[in-house]
Amino acid sequence: MDIGLVGLGKMGGNMRERLRRDGHTVVGFDRNPEVSDVDSLAALVDKLPTPKVVWVMVPAGEPTRSTVAELGELLGEGDVVVDGGNSRWTDDLANAETLQAKGIGYVDCGVSGGVWGLENGYALMYGGDAADVEKVQPAFDSLKPEGDFGAVHAGKVGAGHFSKMVHNGIEYAIMQAYAEGWELLEKAELTDNVTEVFRSWREGTVIRSWLLDLMVAALDDDPGLSQIAGYAEDSGEGRWTVEAGIENAVATPAITAALYARFVSRQDDSPTMKAVAAMRNQFGGHAVRTPAPKGGDAAGESKAPDQAAAAREAGAGSGREPAES
């Protein structure tokens, strides 16, 4: 199929490559001209045959809303917009309503897979009308992992991102449990090699998982996690999951505790949060904070929290889509 892809960051760029490897024609647009195939959204739309399908992979919130609004002025009846970023499901309802008035379809798609998706495939959770989903189905089939699982039409518009939100909330809790277990094993001073204990759990135990594999990889890279500050961000979905639990009278104590632990990490250097930050870096390429060298400031995300927050705010509209949480 022919498909437009807006946002060619860590995930978007790899998604373009995976689609092309499977024989699809992909026209990509990004604010960075070095990776972009065209110089504007209008040029992207012009290159696509009808019905046109445009997949958006930019940061959630205003960057996505404004991109969808611009596409609404460029596309026509029967075309489809796919939001594959980490948008809040309530945004999907508003976007779909706006596009529906113009006869343009809308599909929301939660995407999981991080920087590993190019080779392993992406878990996809999508919502929308069956007719709109059908127009995107060849891309879904190419992006998903091999095998019977890894992709689902979750329901109506909003269901895809709502499912991905809950997925990420669960992810918060699992990472927190691994991280707390690691800190306890290190602190007790009874275990000679904590990394090897974690490695042994990768086979035959009920807690084996890909996140456990990534935790071991992080410990192999940096035994004791001495090069990572105990500071972990949250990308929104954990907060939204807790809020949804409150709205639906569903208790989410494990997810809530994991979210709050990340808040605590921003006050003090936490060994547990070193582990969370290490896993986030392993699966999503997220930045980690490192200690400042003598006589100078640390680079990038190793700024003081208030400075880092200002830097993140300044880059909110940079065109980079978020990966995993």
Instruction: Specify whether 73 is catalytic.
Output: no
C-alpha 5/C-alpha 272 separation (Å) is: 37
* Cα 53 → chain centroid: 21
CA of 135: how far to CAs of 129, 141, 282, in Å? 10, 12, 34
**CB atoms inside a 10 Å sphere around CB 233:** 19
Q: How far apart are the first and last CA of the chain?
A: 30
C-alpha 15/C-alpha 299 separation (Å) is: 29
Instruction: Specify whether 164 is catalytic.
Output: yes
At residue 54, what are phi and psi to the nearest 5 degrees?
-125, 125
- Catalytic residue selected from 135, 144, 171, 301: 171
- Catalytic residue selected from 164, 183, 237, 274: 164
83: amino acid identity, one letter = D
Q: Which residues contact 94 (CB under 8 A, 6 or more apart)?
A: 65
Nearest to 21, CA basis, from 151, 139, 114: 139
Nearest to 15, CA basis, from 138, 121, 146: 121
Assess contact for 163 and 153: CB atoms under 8 A: no
Strand-pair partners of 319: none
Which residues are annotated as catalytic? 164, 171
